[in-house]
Structure 1
Amino acid sequence: MMFGPFLFGAPLALLGLIALPVIWYVLRATPPAPQEADLPSLRLLDDVTPRDETPARTPWWILLLRMLAAAAAIIGLSQPVYAPGASPESEASGPVLVVVDNGWTSAARWSEIRSAAAGALDGEGRNTAGHLLLTAPKSLNADPSERLTKTELPQRVNSLDPVAWGVDREDALARLEEAGLEPGRIFWVTDGLDPETALPFARALSAVAPLSVYAAPPRGPSAITALSSDADGATVRLTRADTAEDSQRYVSALTLDGAALATAEASFAKDQADAQAVFDIPAAALARIARFTITGSEGAGSVWLWDSAARSRRVGLVSGDSTAQPLLSDMHYVRKALEPFATITESSLPDLIAANPDAIIMTDIGQLAPDLEIEVTEWVQKGGALIRFAGPRMAGQVDNLVPTPLRRSSRAIGGALTWEDPQSIGSFPATSPFTGLPTPEDVRIRQQVLARPDPELASKTWARLSDGSPLVTAASRGQGMLILFHVTAGPDWSDLPYSGTFVEMLRRAIAAGRGEAVSDSEGTYSPDIVLNGYGRLVTPDSNATPVAASDFVGIEPSESHPPGLYRGPSGTRAINAAAGYEAELVTDWPAGTRLLGDAEARSARLGGPLLGLAGLLIAIDLIIALAIAGRLPLVNRAARAAVLVALAFPAMQAVQLPAEAQRYDVSPSPYSYRSSPGYGVDVNVTGEIDKATEAALDMRLAYIKTGDGAVDQATLAGLRGLSLVLYRRTSVEPAEPHDVDPETDALDVYPVIFLALPAGAEPLSSRAVERLNEYLRNGGALFIDTRNGGDMAGSDSFADLDRMLPGLDTPPLSPVPQDHVLTRSFYLLDSFPGRYQNRRLWIESSGVGDKAERRGDGVSRLIIGDADYLAAWAVDEHGRPVYSVDGGDQQRELAKRFGINLIMYVLTGNYKEDQVHLPALLERLGERDEDAPAPEDRFDFNNIPPSPDGGPN
């Protein structure tokens, strides 16, 4: 039975509405009169005039509540259906074909689409059959020729979900032709998108039978269509179909397990279909992102999966070079080579291991502290890739984190292992990841570290020189890999950093170190995790098949290859549902097509909601009756308590506000300063300031406490004496020296740290040694005084040093040459005496052979002597010398001058180096005075006695 837009499955139940007046009369009827009984005491009321009283009746609003409950129950039992699109004349029109667009673009309004399709037969006759045609290709799609009753069709439609790929309307027409179905009318529920295929499809359907169309375009942005990234963040491109008004949407960056790392806003202007969401997040967080999703939007197109091929590699850098002149360091060339394809992080090794990047690159680090070496080894065995470059430090000493044993010297032109001519790059073995790279003919190798002969050396070699010696070697270590370039990362030893081959070699080394193939056109990728139609990550089913690497370009999502992450030889590759998608609404439909809006196409079964409403009204009536009868005391108490809380809350706030104001009323204590003659400025504050803050406020010298009281006291006295002479003779005004613990204290705030080695001292911890290594790599200077006064030419002279500082990354050392800047940084010196005379001072070697060049800024970060310099500088609280000196006051004065030269050398670098060339430049310009003395004829200032006030003459 049909009544306007309402259909009734059990119309006879509506006869119960006739009983509503009877129910009304019963509910409002007057109660029966009470029985009369004569009581003797009532005779006292005989003289009272009686008044007519109306018996109590049920209130009108309770009657209305009960009548509504009865009516809702009666109408609900009649099984009503709201179907505005139904018409009486369609009952005898024949079978109805229901066509549904179930691609990913329908997910945003799938509930409306499913409701419209489920009610397609609500206005039809009792015996009218339905047929279902889905436009998204799927192996389990129903056969359009299958007959579905009015009960079966809604059940079938309600069991459907959108798929994660797009529609294929041509395939749907082909399946309809194969079925040979002749429907009486066609009802197409569509997403209203893609005019290029929608219009031909509508014309084909209207040629088969009268066509009604319900178009439900998605709300808001429909998809993420593109993604770009760099070292500073990522940019996501969104598109939408409805451009009628402005809108703002939010995009979230998520990890693979769903943790949100960042959110960005995309703003759509009116008549604008595209917008961008820009993520400005750190590189470490960027590397953890696995997908981007539109907040509050459903559908596979609202999710963009970020695979390892598109994501930048995370690479950590650790350098053995000082950063005083970063453009001259090895790390500068590595950084420039990595920038096109990697996200770079420069930090300490423990921090990088905790961040777990794709690879860690170390340049010219000879050895690590024992505990740190173990930590790095464990990281590599768990799958890390450690890439190392050689250098002077590695040529002198090396730890076990190398793919093959090395000789303890470098092969160079003019060195101990001599080349007659620079070598060119030879070949890349067939098993090397560098296979296929062009060999640069103009690259020359001038120096390298040599591998020891080994039976497995050939299998570990990735690149060779023209004479067959290894240039790059690699070996597996657990699940990870060790890779060694036998040359420096900078141009000191070779021209390789100048070539484009260097960039590609690094890229392939990082990929191979992670166990990934280098070529993107080889291998097969299997589905690892895929998206369903709602944009949720699910496990792939049996219909998802692997994809050849060469087929990933331009692949279209389908049932065989659903959107998701596919794992293969180069990590993971992604198929995204909306890659390159452009949303466009269908605005022009074929003539004769009946277009239904939301109200016309939507049908709803009202039986269940009406019965639920009746039950709710009855429950409300029962609660009201019990409350009036006083049977709900708890309800009354709760109401009274709520009133009391509401009244007390303002008073509680008034009491709390003064306490809160008092708690946050904290005034900082002022700083006060006082001058300290001879030792700069001391800081006195209320409370304590740590040593790092003091050293940042005033330049101070520092020394490492050894635990030997006599040695530490002598060291402190020596640094006080050196600070005093610096204050009197130079513009450097050091404050009171600090003792430091390299394991816990900040070291970077001190320009130089002194260490006096006591006899039989306990070795420093591995953490302390590694922090000293970091201090030296970051530009700090370490002065070590062995105090033994012996000849340090033999290797045994460094036994105490190796024992106390195990794992110190010591560069190759050599005695200070006569023309070194240390001899003229402030005073002109030809020797470096301390408490003992005729002793050598050792600094970082500048190279090998006649063509040796200083690396970086040329300032040695490690200086070692044995003349007990600190004792020669030591003074007591009155400024008087504490210890005797072999050569008397003359030698003590020279020791002080060396101390000043040392601090000037550390603070100012090698700027005095340029003055050596001044006479030659003047001669070349023709401006030199012929009567001026030549450099070799200058006066020897070393023999000038000290002035009475201690200042320079």
Structure 2
Amino acid sequence: MTAIGPFLLGAPLALFALLALPLIWWVLRATPPAPKEAELPSLRLLEGAEPVEETPARTPWWVWLIRTLAVIAAILGLSQPVWAPGARTTEAGGGPLLIVMDNGWASAPRWSELTNAASATLDAGDRDGAVHLLLTAPRQLNADPAERLSRADMARRLSSLDPQPWATDRVDALARLDASKLAPARIFYASDGLETEGGAAFAAALAARAPLTVFAAPPEGPAVITGLSAQTDAVTVRLARADTGGTARAFVSALTQDGSALGSAEAVFEAGAREAEAQFAIPAAALARIARFNVTGRPGAGTVWLWDSAERTRRVGLVDAGAEAQPLLSDMHYIRKALEPFASISTGDIETLVAAAPDAIILSDVGQIPAADTERLTEWVENGGALIRFAGPRLAAQGDELLPVMLRRSSRAIGGALAWEEPQGLAPFPENSPFAGLPVPPDVRVRQQVLARPEPDLARKTWARLTDGSPLVSADSRGDGTLVLFHITAGPDWGDLAYSGVFEQMLRRAIAAGRGEAVEDGDGTYMPQLSLDGFGRLERASQNAAPIKAAEFADIAPSETHPPGLYQGPSGSRALNIGAGAEPRLMTQWPASARLLGDAEARSLRLAGPMLALAAGLLALDLFIALFVAGRLRGLGRRSKAPGKTAAKTTGGALGALILAFAFMPGEPAQAQGYELRPDGSYRAIPSPSTRVVPLPEGKASQKQIDAALVMRFGYIETADRALNERARAGLQGLSNILNMRTSVEPAEPHSLNLETDALELYPLIFFVVPENAGPLSETAIGRLNAYLRAGGALVIDTRAGGDAAAQTDVSKLETLLSGLDAPQLQPVPENHVLSRSFYLIDDFPGRFAGRRLWIEQTGEPGTARGDGVSRLFIGDADWISAWAVDADGRDLYSVDGGPQQRETARRFGVNLVMYVLTGSYKDDQVHIPALLERLGDPDAGEPEPLMPGRIPDGGPQ
């Protein structure tokens, strides 16, 4: 590379062609030789007549200017210029180049800038020189810094890198560099700009080895979420930043498991402040749905905080027993006071509480539960609820089936004038009890209780006992839930437990154990379930992620073996967050000999392509002008008939100026509807009202049916959820936009469909976005859907339930909704199915959620007649509609878990789906290309090399 100021030239000798510009200018402005004159006698009749058109004596100035500029642009493009303000000729010497990159969690917000800076430094120096790479985030399989790479290979390696969701270890990186025995000629360090893991010492060690150039890109604004604190109806999220200069604002979003935003809060960093807080005031019912918090617009594992079951506020429902004249004498008063420090409390009847689906429901001295409420509670418990009951006179008189043990009629009085026994204290809690480890208050006395009937497994069901061995708390599982019974009242009537501090801890642990979670799990193990990648996206934990012992969980630092994410164990789910206790600080002590690059200096831009494109554009413009002046363009090349010797020159000059003006003027909007690509990758519709009016034939068809018959469009099934209908319309509109831009399929605006009244056969593809708690379809709707599918229509059903990345796609819930639908057996899309290659080559079918199954009709056995073999039924839960949805301006409406890359893949799947539905399996033979080529090959050549589908061998068929 040759440097000229901020420019680097890959082929500087090409600039010598500029010396020939005078000769090129002379050739470009030359005109053909004048024609030979011949005097004819008949020409005397034309003496005195003025010619209408004249040929100019030389080429117009604006023509040779265009040609000269085209030649200059072509010469400059062939010199391969690169704009690199950070490059210096003194750094472009020989010897190996070492690129050092911080690829820990702190580098994610500005990762593209770090990789661009590292790529820009490749443009300086010898193109054939060796390049080496050192990454500071430790991994089990670290790249050896001694590995020699070409600059082209290094550019590809840099583009494939992603930040890691754990911290850097610069000491380990320096040790790996020492072990490699590499002696670089110069070092480029792309740093995250934070003083962690001996950052200053690491930079000094690099500067001692070779001339050092540093590009530091510390996170702008909040760098990490350091923790949160939860109350019953509020959450406080704490953030920290590295640069304390000036004020800064950030917004934190509270997200559900499927990525839906439940609220946002603003955090303001005052000047000089390192920490800030975002306050969320969210209703308790919505608070329980929050799965994570993230800083809006700041991708990275550090700006995401996963909220696990240990930190989450419990939602507890108290069955309302009516107003109490003396609240201090009410059992509910003591229960409420014990729950307030850690739970969100709601009060109501059984039907209301079961519908709210809290973590636990507490009944205090309820002896007889109505049959309807019993059914509701039973179903709720069997689905995973925790029902906690306290005894009392009513329960002692009559029991029911929602008890963990069988009770004796009446209660047992301990102590008093007519009692033989003294009040009993609490015995130590059994080791297998959820209360194990709690201190036993010596001053608590129980004066009355309900007794359990003797059973063989009564000891297993007992969580707490009195000193005489009788059960104080018993529990038993029922389905996926738990029934828990305190054999005394919740108030002070039968004992002193409500006065002690252990009562709150017992309630807390009873709720957790009732949900299948332990509190003290020192001997347990937490298995990795979901993990965060470097950009803060949740994904299924990799096979390299190892379990964590419960006793060591609090001391584990995120690493490749234990990545940040959610781990499932005895206490439910626990989160390993990268930012717990983090204190990010800027690195300010750089070596004196190091050269620090600013943001502008670290960039580079290759200009060869734009310069050659400019040259081609100018030459095309010159050709257009030549054809226009020669009259080869009909209707545009007519010459002016105005007399005068300067008419041709005036007309030509004006025409050239006019063409140049039009060349740089923005185009007028198209008359027909189209779409333009925005800088953010979305599309904006350019509507234009149609002037064609289709008359409505009376008694034959509606205007909606005529529109669907004249112009192809998709349909979506109307539901009772208006917001969901609008989402479906926006999703199909976005898919139609993509098809209009990328394919020859040009769908019009989608239609909403009523299954019982609209003509379904007019739509090649119908989407059914299933609402929550949807009731079964009517017999009329099912019959019309059956006729539609038999006629060759395609039905796509999306349950949008794929937010749980750890669960598989479940289609069993549709059996009730689609009862009576004449559909064959279903199967997941097999490998190499034509759906994955009908337009784009894809291997996944994501929507808003990735990694979900797509179910299609199961193909029959070989030779079985099954129509055209094309599935007409598609079922999934990836929420494709939300990934495609756009507003009236073509902007995306909903977030996608995987970001722009996943959204693009979702769009490609939509294109493939439409192509598959419209064209069938015409590309299915691509799967058989290896077998066909093998049969056409040389039979004497032995077994051919195995081929991938679509790959043609070098020799080709014989």
The amino acid across from 1:493 in the alignment is W
* 1:331-388 superposed Cα distances (whole Å, 9 cap, x missing partner): 1111111122222222232232222222111112222221221121111111111111
Indicate the residue corresponding to 1:506 in structure 2. Answer: 507
Indicate the residue corresponding to 1:141 in structure 2. Answer: 142
* 1:697-717 superposed Cα distances (whole Å, 9 cap, x missing partner): xxxxxxxxxxxxxxxxxxxxx
Instruction: Give the gaps of 5 or more residues in structure 1.
Output: 650-953
* 1:718-763 superposed Cα distances (whole Å, 9 cap, x missing partner): xxxxxxxxxxxxxxxxxxxxxxxxxxxxxxxxxxxxxxxxxxxxxx
Deviates more, 1:45-54 or 1:92-101: 45-54
- Superposition map of 1:12-411 within 5 A: 12-14=13-15, 48=49, 53=54, 68=69, 71-194=72-195, 197-411=198-412
The amino acid across from 1:545 in the alignment is A
CA separation of 1:492/1:638 partners in 2, compared to 1, >3 Å: closer, same or farther? same
CA separation of 1:22/1:311 partners in 2, compared to 1, >3 Å: closer, same or farther? farther
The amino acid across from 1:340 in the alignment is P
CA RMSD of superposed structures (Å): 3.7
3-state SS of the aligned residue for 2:288?
Answer: helix
Deviation at residue 128 of structure 1 after TM alignment: 2.2
Alignment of 1:439 with 2:410, yes or no, is: no
* Contact 1:320–1:364 (Cα < 8 Å) also in 2: no
Instruction: Give the gaps of 5 or more residues in structure 2.
Output: 638-666, 675-685, 690-958
CA separation of 1:21/1:394 partners in 2, compared to 1, >3 Å: closer, same or farther? farther
Deviation at residue 153 of structure 1 after TM alignment: 1.9
Indicate the residue corresponding to 2:538 in structure 1. Answer: 537
Provide the C-alpha distance between the structure 2 equivalents of 1:56 and 1:568, rounded to a whole number of angstroms: 92
CA separation of 1:413/1:574 partners in 2, compared to 1, >3 Å: closer, same or farther? closer
CA separation of 1:208/1:471 partners in 2, compared to 1, >3 Å: closer, same or farther? same
Provide the C-alpha distance between the structure 2 equivalents of 1:60 and 1:353, rounded to a whole number of angstroms: 86
* Contact 2:319–2:347 (Cα < 8 Å) also in 1: yes
* Contact 1:410–1:450 (Cα < 8 Å) also in 2: yes
* Contact 1:319–1:365 (Cα < 8 Å) also in 2: no
3-state SS of the aligned residue for 1:526?
Answer: strand
Provide the C-alpha distance between the structure 2 equivalents of 1:620 and 1:288, rounded to a whole number of angstroms: 61
Deviation at residue 605 of structure 1 after TM alignment: 2.7
The amino acid across from 1:283 in the alignment is A
Deviation at residue 87 of structure 1 after TM alignment: 3.3
* Contact 1:411–1:419 (Cα < 8 Å) also in 2: no
Provide the C-alpha distance between the structure 2 equivalents of 1:471 and 1:588, rounded to a whole number of angstroms: 64
The amino acid across from 2:245 in the alignment is A
Deviation at residue 224 of structure 1 after TM alignment: 1.1
CA separation of 1:89/1:545 partners in 2, compared to 1, >3 Å: closer, same or farther? same
The amino acid across from 1:578 in the alignment is G
Provide the C-alpha distance between the structure 2 equivalents of 1:583 and 1:619, rounded to a whole number of angstroms: 56
* Contact 2:169–2:197 (Cα < 8 Å) also in 1: no
Deviation at residue 599 of structure 1 after TM alignment: 3.3
* 1:237-271 superposed Cα distances (whole Å, 9 cap, x missing partner): 11222333322211101112211000001112222
CA separation of 1:641/1:530 partners in 2, compared to 1, >3 Å: closer, same or farther? closer
Provide the C-alpha distance between the structure 1 equivalents of 2:612 and 2:369, rounded to a whole number of angstroms: 78
Deviation at residue 562 of structure 1 after TM alignment: 1.4
The amino acid across from 1:209 in the alignment is A
Provide the C-alpha distance between the structure 1 equivalents of 2:42 and 2:453, rounded to a whole number of angstroms: 131
* Contact 1:93–1:185 (Cα < 8 Å) also in 2: no
CA separation of 1:101/1:561 partners in 2, compared to 1, >3 Å: closer, same or farther? same
Deviation at residue 558 of structure 1 after TM alignment: 1.3
The amino acid across from 1:517 in the alignment is A
Provide the C-alpha distance between the structure 2 equivalents of 1:242 and 1:203, rounded to a whole number of angstroms: 22
* Contact 2:320–2:349 (Cα < 8 Å) also in 1: no
Indicate the residue corresponding to 1:553 in structure 2. Answer: 554
* Contact 1:319–1:364 (Cα < 8 Å) also in 2: no
CA separation of 1:257/1:493 partners in 2, compared to 1, >3 Å: closer, same or farther? same
3-state SS of the aligned residue for 1:304?
Answer: strand
Provide the C-alpha distance between the structure 2 equivalents of 1:411 and 1:236, rounded to a whole number of angstroms: 50
Provide the C-alpha distance between the structure 1 equivalents of 2:400 and 2:471, rounded to a whole number of angstroms: 19
Indicate the residue corresponding to 1:2 in structure 2. Answer: 2
CA separation of 1:488/1:79 partners in 2, compared to 1, >3 Å: closer, same or farther? same
Deviation at residue 38 of structure 1 after TM alignment: 12
3-state SS of the aligned residue for 1:212?
Answer: strand
Provide the C-alpha distance between the structure 2 equivalents of 1:323 and 1:448, rounded to a whole number of angstroms: 23
CA separation of 1:464/1:409 partners in 2, compared to 1, >3 Å: closer, same or farther? same
* Contact 1:115–1:604 (Cα < 8 Å) also in 2: no
Deviation at residue 455 of structure 1 after TM alignment: 2.8
Provide the C-alpha distance between the structure 2 equivalents of 1:416 and 1:404, rounded to a whole number of angstroms: 30
The amino acid across from 2:352 in the alignment is D
Percent identical residues: 62
Deviates more, 1:284-293 or 1:607-616: 607-616
- Superposition map of 1:635-654 within 5 A: 638=670
Q: How many residues align?
A: 644
Deviation at residue 612 of structure 1 after TM alignment: 4.8
Provide the C-alpha distance between the structure 2 equivalents of 1:364 and 1:601, rounded to a whole number of angstroms: 73
* 1:603-622 superposed Cα distances (whole Å, 9 cap, x missing partner): 33333344455566677889
The amino acid across from 1:146 in the alignment is E
* Contact 1:410–1:417 (Cα < 8 Å) also in 2: no
CA separation of 1:637/1:156 partners in 2, compared to 1, >3 Å: closer, same or farther? closer
- Superposition map of 1:839-854 within 5 A: none
Provide the C-alpha distance between the structure 2 equivalents of 1:625 and 1:315, rounded to a whole number of angstroms: 83
* Contact 1:253–1:261 (Cα < 8 Å) also in 2: yes
* Contact 1:319–1:363 (Cα < 8 Å) also in 2: no
Deviation at residue 45 of structure 1 after TM alignment: 6.7
Indicate the residue corresponding to 1:471 in structure 2. Answer: 472
3-state SS of the aligned residue for 2:554?
Answer: coil
User: So what's the TM-score if we normalise by structure 2?
Assistant: 0.61
Deviation at residue 393 of structure 1 after TM alignment: 2.3
CA separation of 1:456/1:39 partners in 2, compared to 1, >3 Å: closer, same or farther? farther
Provide the C-alpha distance between the structure 1 equivalents of 2:621 and 2:231, rounded to a whole number of angstroms: 62
Indicate the residue corresponding to 1:495 in structure 2. Answer: 496
* 1:852-898 superposed Cα distances (whole Å, 9 cap, x missing partner): xxxxxxxxxxxxxxxxxxxxxxxxxxxxxxxxxxxxxxxxxxxxxxx
Deviates more, 1:43-52 or 1:280-289: 43-52
Provide the C-alpha distance between the structure 1 equivalents of 2:104 and 2:451, rounded to a whole number of angstroms: 62
The amino acid across from 2:250 in the alignment is R
Larger Rg: 1
CA separation of 1:127/1:425 partners in 2, compared to 1, >3 Å: closer, same or farther? closer
3-state SS of the aligned residue for 1:601?
Answer: coil
3-state SS of the aligned residue for 1:587?
Answer: coil
* 1:33-69 superposed Cα distances (whole Å, 9 cap, x missing partner): 8999999999997565568846599987777666555
Provide the C-alpha distance between the structure 2 equivalents of 1:352 and 1:619, rounded to a whole number of angstroms: 74
- Superposition map of 1:703-782 within 5 A: none
3-state SS of the aligned residue for 1:119?
Answer: helix
Provide the C-alpha distance between the structure 1 equivalents of 2:626 and 2:373, rounded to a whole number of angstroms: 79
- Superposition map of 1:536-685 within 5 A: 536-613=537-614, 638=670
Provide the C-alpha distance between the structure 1 equivalents of 2:470 and 2:119, rounded to a whole number of angstroms: 76
Provide the C-alpha distance between the structure 1 equivalents of 2:229 and 2:668, rounded to a whole number of angstroms: 63
* Contact 1:101–1:134 (Cα < 8 Å) also in 2: yes
- Superposition map of 1:921-940 within 5 A: none
User: So what's the TM-score if we normalise by structure 1?
Assistant: 0.62
3-state SS of the aligned residue for 2:352?
Answer: helix
Deviation at residue 439 of structure 1 after TM alignment: 2.8
Provide the C-alpha distance between the structure 1 equivalents of 2:453 and 2:134, rounded to a whole number of angstroms: 73
3-state SS of the aligned residue for 1:143?
Answer: coil
Provide the C-alpha distance between the structure 2 equivalents of 1:133 and 1:239, rounded to a whole number of angstroms: 28
Deviation at residue 631 of structure 1 after TM alignment: 8.1
